[in-house]
Amino acid sequence: MAAKRMEAEAKLAEEARRAVEIEAAKPKKKAVIGDAHPWSALSPSALKRRTAADLSEFLEERVR
């Protein structure tokens, strides 16, 4: 029983390792500046100054 369990755990570990390797090998998506929302260029302090209405409007735009 213990041998089967160890084999199953080793198999799962190998599958997880392969999944991580596959994910790491995928090309990373780069942000396209033209498609980015203007808020993405704002500093954190500037974002904090946005009002709830601004945020609501932004979220509604993203849903459409």
Question: pLDDT digits over 13-55, tens only?
Answer: 999 888 888 888 877 766 555 566 777 777 888 878 888 888 8
In this prediction the pTM is: 0.39
The answer to whether residue 4 scores a pLDDT higher than 80 is: yes
Name residue, tokens 């390792």. Answer: 17
- Name the helix (H) or strand (E) containing 61: helix 52-63
What is the rounded distance in angstroms from the CA atom of residue 50 to the CA atom of residue 34? 22
- 46 token code pair: 């500037």
Token reading at 20:
């991580």
